[in-house]
Amino acid sequence: MTSDSTLPDIVSSVAPPSGGVNHNLQVRFKNEEGKLLLILPAETETSSSSSWADIWQQLKQRLNAGDRFWQPNTTVHLAAADRLLDGRQLQAVAEALGEVQLTLKRVYTSRRQTAVAAATAGYSVEQQTPSALNQPLTSSVPLAEPLYLQMAVRSGVEIRHSGTVILVGDINPGGIVVANGDILVWGRLRGIAHAGADGNSKCLIMALQMEPTQLRIADYVARAPTTQLTQVYPEIAHVTPEGIRISIAADFSKSQFLSS
C-alpha cells in the first residue's frame, strides 16, 4: 500500500461483523499485586465452540508469545469462573505454566467439581471469583493494560484483547487481531486488524509493513488496494471523515498537527 494519504478502496458503511471485544472470550493474563491472574473465559458467556481444546490452544499460544517476560517462580492464580475442570486438565495447566517457570497456587471457581478437583491436586481453592472479575461489564469499561505478544499470528489464530495490542511479529493472511485500543504491529500486517473494536474511531493501526487483507477501526472497514507495494515503510491507519486512510508513519504526527 503506498501512502502519503493515498486512498485505499473504502467499503465504509459496511459495519464490521464483530462489535466490541467481550474480553471474557479468550484466555488472558492479568497482573494483580505481585501475582499473575490467569483468567479463563466463563462457560456461560462463550459459545459452545470455546471448548477445552480451544482454551488449551490459546493458553499455549499466550505462554509461548510472552516467553521473555514471565518472571521465574511467579505465583499464578487461576480464575476458572464457572468452567468445569477435571484433575487432568488442572494438571495440564499447571504443567504448561511450569514450562515457563510459573507456579499455579490457587484456583478460583464457582463450580463444586472444579473446587474438589483442585483441592485434591493440592491447590488452595476459593469458591468465588476474585475481586477483579466481579466488576460488572458495563458499557464503559476502562481499557485493559496493553497486551504484549511476540509471535506470528498465523492463519486461523485470533487474538482478542480489551486494550491495546503490541505484536512483535507478523499477522499472516487468515490471522486476525481485534483490540479495543490501538494495534501496533512490529512486523508485517497481512491479515486483518480491528482497532477500537468497541467503537472508538480515534484508535490507530500501525505496522512496519502494511499489506492487510482488511483494516477495521471502530465501525469503519477498508481493504487494501490491489496494487503491489513498491516501497515499504512503516505506516499508520487512522479514521478521517472520508473513512480509513493510511499515512507514512514518519509524517503522521506532522499531518495531525496541521489538521487540528
Partner 1 sequence: MSRIIVTTSGKGGVGKTTVTANLGMALARLGRKVALVDADFGLRNLDLLLGLENRVVYTTVEVLAGECRLEQALVKDKREPGLVLLPAAQNRTKDAVNPEQMQQLVNSLTESYDYVVIDSPAGIEMGFKNAIAGAKEALIVTTPEIAAVRDADRVVGLLEAEGIKKIHLIVNRLRPAMVQVNDMMSVEDVQEILAIPIIGVVPEDERVIVSTNRGEPLVLSENPSLAGKAFDNIARRLEGQTVEFIDLHPTHDNFFTRIRKLLSSII
Choose the binding region for partner 1 from 1-9, 103-111, 154-162, 216-224 (rule: CB under 8 A).
Answer: 154-162
Closer to partner 1 by CB, 98 or 156: give it. Answer: 156
Q: How far is the CB of 27 from partner 1 (least distance, A)?
A: 12
Shortest distance in whole angstroms from residue 99 CB to partner 1:
9
Q: Are 200 and 22 in contact (CB under 8 A)?
A: no
Give the Cα separation of 76 and 83 in Å (integer): 17
Q: Coil, strand, or helix at residue 67?
A: helix
Per rule CB under 8 A, is residue 190 in the interface with partner 1?
Answer: yes
Q: Please, how many CA atoms are within 13 Å of residue 254, restricted to the half-sphere of its CB?
A: 7
* Residue 153 vs 206, nearer CB to partner 1: 153
By CB under 8 A, tell whether 152 contacts partner 1: yes
The side-by-side arrangement of strands in the sheet containing 144-150 is 144-150, 163-168, 183-189, 205-210, 235-240, 243-248
d(CA 103, CA 15): 43
Q: Which of 103, 154, 201, 225 lies at the binding interface for partner 1 (CB under 8 A)?
A: 154
Candidates 114, 164, 172, 180; binder of partner 1 (CB under 8 A) is 172
CB distance 162 to 184 below 8 Å: no
When asked if residue 160 is in the footprint of partner 1 (CB under 8 A), the reply is: no
Residues that bind partner 1 in the complex, under the rule CB under 8 A: 56-57, 60-61, 64, 152, 154-157, 170, 172-174, 190
